[in-house]
Amino acid sequence: KQEVTQIPAALSVPEGENLVLNCSFTDSAIYNLQWFRQDPGKGLTSLLLIQSSQREQTSGRLNASLDKSSGRSTLYIAASQPGDSATYLCAVMNSGYSTLTFGKGTMLLVSP
């Protein structure tokens, strides 16, 4: 059974810092890995999707990497802003195209 772990559970940084969120998964036979953002009381917004054959994806100030063999992914946020404050969720889709298994998220607070 796939298990996804996110570290740290919470992170507080001053505006302007670069930061890294970590995600690990136990079964390396994955179809893709997705990073989502969730604001309080809202649904999930897709940030980046990395296919199993890819090593990284970039969107603006966000960069996500994938090391399938070691079961790890990182989300790098450059020059953080208060608007980046949210919970970031990592999710893995197992091979064969099925459902997503989620980590419990990292709650990020960026202070002005």
Partner 1 sequence: GAGVSQSPSNKVTEKGKDVELRCDPISGHTALYWYRQSLGQGLEFLIYFQGNSAPDKSGLPSDRFSAERTGGSVSTLTIQRTQQEDSAVYLCASSQGSRARTGELFFGEGSRLTVL
> Residues interacting with partner 1, by CB under 8 A?
31-32, 34, 36, 42-46, 49, 51, 89, 91, 93, 97-105
Min. distance of Cβ 96 from partner 1 in angstroms? 9
Tokens matching residue 2: 């796939």
**Residue type at position 28:** S
Min. distance of Cβ 110 from partner 1 in angstroms? 22
Nearer to partner 1 among residue 46 and residue 81 (C-beta): 46
Min. distance of Cβ 69 from partner 1 in angstroms? 20
Radius of gyration of the chain (CA): 13
Hunting for tokens 């989300």 — which residue is that?
75
Quick one: residue 84, left, alpha or beta (phi over 0 = left, psi -120 to 50 = alpha)? alpha
